[in-house]
Amino acid sequence: MKSCLVVDDSRVIRMVARKIMEELAFEVVEAEDGKVAIERCNQGMPDAVLLDWHMPVMDGLEFLHALRRLPGGDKPKVVFCTTKNDLEHIQEAIKAGADEYIMKPFDSEIIQSKFMQVGLL
Amino acid sequence: MIRHDDFELLRGIVKSRSGLTLSPDKAYLLENRLMAVARKWGMNDIDGLAAAVRGGPNEELLREITEAMTTNETLFFRDQSPFEQLQKVVLPRLMASRKEARHIRIWSAGCSSGQEPYSISMILREQSALFKDWRIDILATDISRTMLDKARAGLYTQFEVQRGLPIAMLMKHFKQAGDKWELDPSIRAMVEFREFNLLGDPGTLGRFDIVFLRNVLIYLDQPTKAQVLEKVCRQMPTDGVLYMGGAETVMGVTEKFQPVSEHRGMYRVTAGGPSQWKTPPASIASNA
């Protein structure tokens, strides 16, 4: 079973994302900010990260930079999932090493489409 | 609740003008979709709409009734694999056999709001160096003028650009226009859109090496499917390729096409087509 780390400071968004990812047969781990997400990755690198941008403590972009520096941190497919819905932020995320990008609001179809794009479905 | 005679009248119109078959259990669908048409024409209910139809020929009203019943579901790079096949298998092979003419024609039939033909044009643009000195025509047709207008505009919602379209393609070929995303005019210019009813004669459209007829025939009955496929076949060379939806089949419908076993949803012309459509040798693929 593939694993997905859902990183978002909103408990509701994490709950919705968990439900969708579990329906897509992923094992889900949650983190409420980038710092906690790094701890989770140190315990075990997930196959995918569904990543919010704006979060307290460590935001999504900072997390992505930190993740890619970790041993094995180049492996997870990182899919941003954020309200930053403009081309500049998309370019910044991809340049930083994100594999795909979801503009909120999202639904299961969009998540499925994006995880197909990164080759995990 | 729609009256039985109104349902029979309206579904008869839709069937004769588009081939679309509506079983009695779809009465609710017809009622839901045609209420908007009724209101637009100043009527309060389907009874009034049916009365207007009975009142005499009104081409515009009949066209709107038919158009309202069409299903316009589509997305960029739908199912992925047909577009990968097109890029890796079909185009290289056709290019190898058309080295002299250097001309390939592609038809996206039932193109809805344009995501399918634009997916093809983006593939061609990504490999533009390989198609230098080639003429690749993409004709996209639909019965719905509303959908064709939307397709020509090339403006898509945030939801639409996130269904099937890789983010790299969005970054490269779209720009933001208010709350929508606008496809690059040069990609749009690669596609010619034209109104066409699949019940009509595709001979008026010319011949096609590749036809995308995906998830269109599912709404038609068997005899109509067969007629459409036979007419499409007449417009294709013996090495032409037909794409249908993953859940569709020609089995029991027509013998004009044969499935290509290695590639789901891909069909070859029965008479004379190459028996195998495997991935071409590396030398052909790399030249294409």
Q: What is the span of the domain harbouring residue A67?
A: 2-117
3-state secondary structure of B47: helix
User: B141 vs chain A: nearest CA distance in angstroms?
Assistant: 26
Residue B57's pLDDT band, with cuts at 50, 70 and 90, is confident
**Averaged pLDDT of chain A:** 97
What does the buried/exposed string (b/e) look like for B183-200 if buried means 16 or more CB atoms within 10 Å of the residue's CB?
Answer: bbeebbebbebeebebbe
Q: What is the pLDDT of residues A74-101, one digit of tens each?
A: 999 999 999 999 999 999 999 999 999 9
Q: How far is the CA of B265 from the CAs of B218, B261, B262, in angstroms?
A: 13, 9, 10
Confidence at B280, pLDDT banded by 50, 70, 90: low
- Give the minimum alpha-carbon distance from B174 to chain A in angstroms, rounded to a whole number: 9
- Pairs of CB atoms within 8 A across A/B: 32
Residue in B with minimal Cα distance to A101: B167
pLDDT tens digits, B172-201:
999 999 999 999 999 999 999 999 999 999
> Is A15 touching B (CB cutoff 8 A)?
no
pLDDT at B180: 97
Set of chain B residues whose Cβ sits within 8 Å of the Cβ of A110: 159, 162-163
The residue in chain A having the minimum alpha-carbon distance to the alpha carbon of residue B177 is A86
Architecture, CATH, for domain B81-287: 3-Layer(aba) Sandwich (3.40)
Who among B159, B163, B171 is closest to A90 (CB)?
B171
**Does residue B104 contact residue B91 with C-beta atoms inside 8 Å?**
yes
Domain ranges of chain B: 4-68, 81-287
Q: Rounded to an integer, what is the distance from CA B72 to the centroid of its chain? A: 10
Residue among B158, B166, B175 minimizing CB distance to A117: B166
pLDDT digits (tens, 9 = 90+) for A27-48: 999 999 999 999 999 999 999 9
Q: What is the CATH number of the domain that holds A27?
A: 3.40.50.2300
Q: What is the mean pLDDT of residues B208-221?
A: 96
Domain B4-68, CATH among 1.10.510.10, 3.40.50.2030, 1.10.3720.10, 1.10.155.10:
1.10.155.10
Question: Which residue is closest to B75 within chain A, CA to CA?
Answer: A113
Contact A110 B167 (CB under 8 A): no
Instruction: Give yes or no for residue B275 having a pLDDT over 60.
Output: no
Strands lying side by side in the sheet with B155-157: B155-157, B180-183, B174-177
Task: Enumerate the residues of chain B whose CB falls inside 8 A of the CB of residue A87.
Answer: 171, 175-176
**Alpha-carbon gap, residue B254 to B245, rounded angstroms:** 16
Q: Fill in the DSSP letter of residue B280.
A: P
Residue B1's pLDDT band, with cuts at 50, 70 and 90, is confident
- The encoded tokens of residue B194 equal 């034209």
Q: Do the strands B174-177 and B180-183 form a parallel or antiparallel pair, or are they unpaired?
A: antiparallel
Only one residue has tokens 């859902």, namely: A6
Confidence of residue B288 (pLDDT cuts 50, 70, 90): very low
Query: Who among A86, A90, A106 is closest to B167 (CB)?
Result: A90
**Residue-level pLDDT at B255:** 94
Could you tell me if B226 and B194 are in contact, meaning their C-beta atoms sit under 8 angstroms apart?
A: no
Closest chain A residue to the Cα of B178, Cα to Cα:
A86
Q: Is A10 part of the contact surface with chain B (CB cutoff 8 Å)?
A: no
Sort out which chain B residues have CB atoms less than 8 A from A85's CB and list them.
158
Q: Is A114 on the interface with B (CB under 8 A)?
A: yes
pLDDT-derived band at B272, boundaries 50, 70, 90: low
- The count of domains in chain A is 1
| pLDDT tens-place string over residues B116-167 | 999 999 999 999 999 999 999 999 999 999 999 999 999 999 999 999 999 9
With a cut of 80, say whether residue B282 has pLDDT above it: no
What confidence score (pLDDT) does residue B89 get? 93
pLDDT digits (tens, 9 = 90+) for B62-112: 999 999 999 999 999 999 999 999 999 999 999 999 999 999 999 999 999
Sign for the CA dihedral angle at B205, B207, B211, B217 comes to positive
Which H or E run contains B109? Answer: strand B103-109
